[in-house]
């Protein structure tokens, strides 16, 4: 039985861990899939590269409002895929080779715990002084009658379809559904979205969610408060039976995409056999320093938290690396207000409290909303739907939350994230900082001044 100083299970963000002082340790990385994890191979990176192409197509079609009359001659799906995966796919072999050349053992077979700090990999067992579990998550596949009788896709597989679908039904109304619906509709594929809730993107601030739902309904067929009760083969490809406000109806499309959430991979690792405590959702329970219930075992990323955000996992890697090297001077992540963005059209970004959460929790707050159209660059964009919304504590005068829907929302929100992290007051961020005129950031300035 081989023994290591450090074993890392999962080579997504986990592959970033061996650095600095940790390079001196006898280390193994265990990854049965591709190095880079979900983000690099089928998540953040390839989907955003698709979004860039989708934005170009949608931008051309919508340019008439600017006096530019353009058309999209064709969308070369194969060329788009080659641009993405021609760059991404070689990275796996390069990463494995790099680690092995630098003295790290790499295991590529499925693994599972058989006892605390004992890992079964194929026919072999290994142990270590320290384990770091970073096994990520995977799409949830709901129990829908007949789903197993048709070919369907999740976010794991849809990016590599051979041809652009002629039509698509999307089950789910979260951020993955929003982004992929934008992509495929922009490329000429009609999309129908079936959502159980009363709005799309229900986790967002309700004002943002309502605006996005309104705009999505102008591009897609959107069925709200609707439940999929059955799936079967259909003349076009798949037939989806939906029960909603309009009664029971059968929808048909060539392709079915299931986007109803993600679940941690702790079950595949048999975390319970390894003595690891789990929460009610199957995430590995950790303390603020990312220690698990087993001494010497740490966990991070989607396996341990509910955020499902690459930037959170990357930040956790830095904390865990420090804590492994400095066990008597440990750190925590500190800022738990995790920002996120949805790269759909229009783009959405959020950090901190939503207004509905503030009300539900009885938190005193004041709100300011400013439209993109109120800023000079918003005029230039001819944007009539985007806005910035900021919530603040009326006593402390600090920012409680910020929510943006509109062009470049993920970039515009960054100074608000920094202000929250650094504890700046609204007065400091609104009045002590110069905002370039006529840049789009002026809409953020105006929202802050409104507070």
Q: At 271, is the secondary structure helix, strand, or coil?
A: coil
Structure tokens at 208: 């943002």
Structure tokens at 369: 């909303």
**290/179 Cα distance (integer angstroms):** 31
Tokens of 347: 């783009």
CB of 28 closer than 8 Å to CB of 96: no
Helix (H) or strand (E) holding 17: none
DSSP 3-state assignment of 316?
helix
Residue indicated by tokens 């609104």: 430
> Which residue's entry shows tokens 């979900």?
38
Which helix (H) or strand (E) segment holds residue 240: the answer is strand 238-244
Please state the separation of Cα 46 from the chain's center in Å: 12
CA–CA dist 108, 264 (Å, integer): 19
Pairing mode, if any, of strands 124-133 and 2-9?
parallel
Q: Which conformational region is residue 80 in: left (phi greater than 0), alpha (psi within -120 to 50 degrees), or beta? A: alpha
Q: Measured between alpha carbons, how far is 117 from 247 in angstroms, rounded to an integer? A: 53
The conformational region for residue 70 under phi > 0 = left, psi -120 to 50 = alpha, else beta, is beta
4-29 exposure pattern, b = at least 16 Cβ within 10 A, e = fewer: bebbbbbbbbbbebbeeebeebebbb
437 is catalytic: yes
Q: Would you give the DSSP letter of residue 438?
A: T
Q: How many CA atoms lie within 13 A of 238 on its CB side?
A: 28
Question: Rounded CA gap, 135 and 268, in Å?
Answer: 9
Instruction: Collapse the DSSP code of 345 into the 3-class scheme (helix H, G, I; strand E, B; otherwise coil) and give the result.
Output: coil
Out of 3, 306, 326, 437, the active site residue is 437
Comparing CA positions, the residue from 333, 219, 259, 243 lying closest to residue 47 is 259
Task: Kindly state the tokens that stand for 92.
Answer: 């796996």
Q: Which residues are catalytic?
A: 437
């Amino acid at each position: 039985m081989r023994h290591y100083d450090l074993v890392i299970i999962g080579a997504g963000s986990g592959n970033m861990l061996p650095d600095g002082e940790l390079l001196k340790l006898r280390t193994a990385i265990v990854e049965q899939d591709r190095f880079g994890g979900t983000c690099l191979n089928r998540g953040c990176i390839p989907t955003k590269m698709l979004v860039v192409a989708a934005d170009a197509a949608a931008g051309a079609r919508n340019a008439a409002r600017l006096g530019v009359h353009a058309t999209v001659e064709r969308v070369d799906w194969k060329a788009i895929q080659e641009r993405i995966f021609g760059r991404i796919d070689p990275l796996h072999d390069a990463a494995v080779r790099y680690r092995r050349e630098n003295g790290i053992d790499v295991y590529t077979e499925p693994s599972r715990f058989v006892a605390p700090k004992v890992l079964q990999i194929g026919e072999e067992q290994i142990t270590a002084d320290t384990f770091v579990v970073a096994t990520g998550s995977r799409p949830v596949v709901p129990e829908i009658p007949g789903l197993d009788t048709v070919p369907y896709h999740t976010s794991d597989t849809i990016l590599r379809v051979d041809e652009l679908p002629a039509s698509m039904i999307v089950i789910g109304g979260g951020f993955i559904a929003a982004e992929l619906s934008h992509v495929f509709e922009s490329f000429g594929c009609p999309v129908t979205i079936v959502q159980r809730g009363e709005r799309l993107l229900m986790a967002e601030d309700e004002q943002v969610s309502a605006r996005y739902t309104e705009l999505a309904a102008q591009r897609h067929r959107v069925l709200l408060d609707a439940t999929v009760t059955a799936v079967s083969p259909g003349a076009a490809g798949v037939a989806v039976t939906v029960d909603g406000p309009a009664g029971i109806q059968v929808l048909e499309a060539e392709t079915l995409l299931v986007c109803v959430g993600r679940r941690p991979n702790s079950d595949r690792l048999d975390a319970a056999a390894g003595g690891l405590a789990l929460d009610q959702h199957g995430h590995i329970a950790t303390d603020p320093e990312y220690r698990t219930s087993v001494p010497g075992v740490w966990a991070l990323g989607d396996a341990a938290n509910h955020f499902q955000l690459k930037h959170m996992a990357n930040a956790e890697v830095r904390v865990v690396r420090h804590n492994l090297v400095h066990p008597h001077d440990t750190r925590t992540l500190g800022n738990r207000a995790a920002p996120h963005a949805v790269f759909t059209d229009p783009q959405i970004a959020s950090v901190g409290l939503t207004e509905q959460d503030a009300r539900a929790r009885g938190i005193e707050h004041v709100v300011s909303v400013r439209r993109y159209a109120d800023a000079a660059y918003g005029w230039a964009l001819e944007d009539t739907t985007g806005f910035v919304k900021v919530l603040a504590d009326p006593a402390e005068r600090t920012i409680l939350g910020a929510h943006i829907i509109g062009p470049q929302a993920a970039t515009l929100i960054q100074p608000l994230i920094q202000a929250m992290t650094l504890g700046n007051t609204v007065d400091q961020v609104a009045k002590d900082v110069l905002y370039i005129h006529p840049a789009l950031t002026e809409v953020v300035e105006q929202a802050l001044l409104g507070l």
